[in-house]
Amino acid sequence: MQLELVPMHKGEDQNVIVGQTHFIKSVEDIYEAVVNAVPGVRFGLAFNEASGVCLVRCAGTDQTLIDCARDNALAIGAGHVFVLILGNAFPINVLNAVKAVPEVCGIFAATANALKVIVADDGTGRGVLGVIDGEKPKGVENDSDAADRKALLRRFGYKF
């Protein structure tokens, strides 16, 4: 078995969700969940089939983001994995809707950070072992850092 670290490529102002699902119907269902969660959302979605013709299935509302999702899914190359690239929305806006899709088994990451996917390859198939999301901690927040965090959440409208 070989291990590979696969970097996810996306624009600096974009977010990515990487997850696992189990059925070709997922492409349409995740698409519907995202457009229903955020009207006017720009996104690209790609899903790797794990049997049959084993194609990367794609959908979305923005061709550049669809291409980005497709390229990332192809690079991961693991069956039943999906990549969702968000252009004008944040994971918090769509994550519950995506997780509620019956075919979705789990989410590996939902982030704007640099993301690397740890992939195992046994010669016939590939699987995601986990992810490296962003950077390692540089310390522990103090009272000033906590105040900054709380102010940021209120400025974004997530807390009142």
Residues with Cβ within 8 Å of residue 52, at least 6 apart in sequence:
none
Q: How much of the chain, in percent, has pLDDT values that exceed 70? A: 100
Tens digits of residue pLDDT in 22-65: 998 999 999 999 999 999 999 999 999 999 999 999 999 999 99
126 falls within a domain: yes
Collapse the DSSP code of 21 into the 3-class scheme (helix H, G, I; strand E, B; otherwise coil) and give the result: strand
For position 107, which CATH number holds? 3.40.1520.10
CB 21 within 8 A of CB 104: yes
The parent domain of residue 28 ranges over 2-155
26 falls within a domain: yes
What is the reported pLDDT for 5?
Answer: 98
What is the reported pLDDT for 157?
Answer: 86
Chain mean pLDDT for the chain: 96
Tens digits of residue pLDDT in 66-94: 999 999 999 999 999 999 999 999 999 99
Distances (CA, A) of 8 to 14, 23, 66, 73, 100: 11, 23, 14, 9, 24
CB 110 within 8 A of CB 20: no
**Both tokens of residue 65?**
């983001």
> How many distinct structural domains can be found in the chain?
1
156 pLDDT exceeds 90? no
Average pLDDT over residues 5-11: 98
In the numeric block, the tokens 């996917």 are attached to 117
**Both tokens of residue 100?**
């509620």
What is the reported pLDDT for 160?
Answer: 86
What is the reported pLDDT for 131?
Answer: 98
21 falls within a domain: yes
What is the reported pLDDT for 159?
Answer: 84
Q: Per residue in 102-141, is it b (16+ CB within 10 Å) or e — as a string?
A: ebbeebbbbbbeebbbebeeeeeebbbeebebeeeeeeee
**Both tokens of residue 84?**
């969702």
78 falls within a domain: yes
The pTM is what?
Answer: 0.94
